[in-house]
Amino acid sequence: NAGVTQTPKFQVLKTGQSMTLQCAQDMNHEYMSWYRQDPGMGLRLIHYSVGAGITDQGEVPNGYNVSRSTTEDFPLRLLSAAPSQTSVYFCASSFTSGGINSPLHFGNGTRLTVT
Amino acid sequence: LAKTTQPISMDSYEGQEVNITCSHNNIATNDYITWYQQFPSQGPRFIIQGYKTKVTNEVASLFIPADRKSSTLSLPRVSLSDTAVYYCLVGRTSSGGSYIPTFGRGTSLIVHP
């Protein structure tokens, strides 16, 4: 049982490049989400999914796309990277969106730098 | 949207009890209060969750007064390894009615020798 696995751990992009941050969980969780964490800003919700085929926007969705074709995977796509997207990205999952008796499980993060 | 307010930082010493208070004046009737802990270079991890009165587990205690407009996370006899950022969360409802966890800036606790 690996929990939530994020890849890569580190990534450097040039402005305008695209990439996909991978997130996979093996706990059969319905809810998955992406956060970004910047110094002094806490975690801000980018996108989330309450089940396969269902996604919705969080607080800071601009510049990011997601899809949820399977229960296990929830990739985050940057179509045209910008320096403002330099951040640490965390993926999280839970049985029912982190509510009652359903805490979030986080991955160890992807540190992205856009130059 | 139930907004939470926590102190930005706190300092303590090994062996002391630490209490971190979170204000959530707009908490809804069905909202639960959840606390997470985040160590440097790691994702947050769940500590404790409660609805009212007191909840205790092997890591911490959570005190919630009757009006539920605040909550206090209590860490007994902290050690250097308790140095971390602590987040207080209160649920919000999306358009579909789901509870969507929203994090604030958290409280940075530094435990000194």
Model pLDDT for residues B11-66, shown as the tens digit of each residue:
999 999 999 999 999 888 888 899 999 998 899 999 999 998 899 999 999 999 99
**pLDDT of amino acid B103:** 84
Indicate if the pLDDT at residue B1 is higher than 60.
no
The model's pLDDT over A2-36, given as tens digits with 9 standing for 90+, comes to: 899 999 999 999 999 999 999 999 999 999 999 99
Indicate if the pLDDT at residue B92 is higher than 70.
no
From the list A4, A96, A103, the residue facing B46 with the nearest CB is A103
Write out chain A residues lying below 8 Å of B101, CB-based: 33, 45, 92, 97-99, 104
Q: Which two tokens stand for residue B104?
A: 């604030």
Q: CB-hemisphere CA count at 13 Å for B78? A: 24
Cβ(A46)–Cβ(A34) below 8 Å: yes
Q: What percent of chain B is modeled with pLDDT above 90?
A: 72
From the list A41, A97, A106, the residue facing B100 with the nearest CB is A97
Give the residue from B8, B99, B107 with the most A CB atoms within 10 Å of its CB, the best one to mutate: B99
Indicate if the pLDDT at residue A95 is higher than 80.
yes
Torsions phi, psi for A74 (to 5 deg) = -145, 80
**pLDDT of amino acid B31:** 84
Cβ(B88)–Cβ(B37) below 8 Å: no
The model's pLDDT over A45-79, given as tens digits with 9 standing for 90+, comes to: 999 999 999 999 999 999 999 999 999 999 999 99
| Range among A75-84, A91-100, B94-103 with highest mean pLDDT value | A75-84
A85 three-state secondary structure: helix
Indicate if the pLDDT at residue B93 is higher than 90.
no
Q: Which two tokens stand for residue B50?
A: 């409660």
Residue A70 identity (one-letter amino acid): T
Cα–Cα distance measured from residue B37 to residue B104, given in angstroms and rounded to the nearest whole number: 13
- State the average pLDDT for chain B: 90
Identify which has the larger pLDDT, B101 or B79.
B79
**pLDDT of amino acid A48:** 94
Indicate if the pLDDT at residue B82 is higher than 80.
yes
Cβ(A109)–Cβ(B43) below 8 Å: yes
Where b means 16+ CB within 10 Å and e means fewer, B9-42 reads eeebeeeeebebebebeebeeebbbbbbbbeeee
Residue B59 identity (one-letter amino acid): V
Confidence band, pLDDT 50/70/90 cuts, at residue A89: very high
Cα–Cα distance measured from residue B85 to residue A39, given in angstroms and rounded to the nearest whole number: 12
**pLDDT of amino acid A96:** 77
| Chain B, nearest residue to A9 by Cα | B41
Stretch B63-80: mean pLDDT: 96
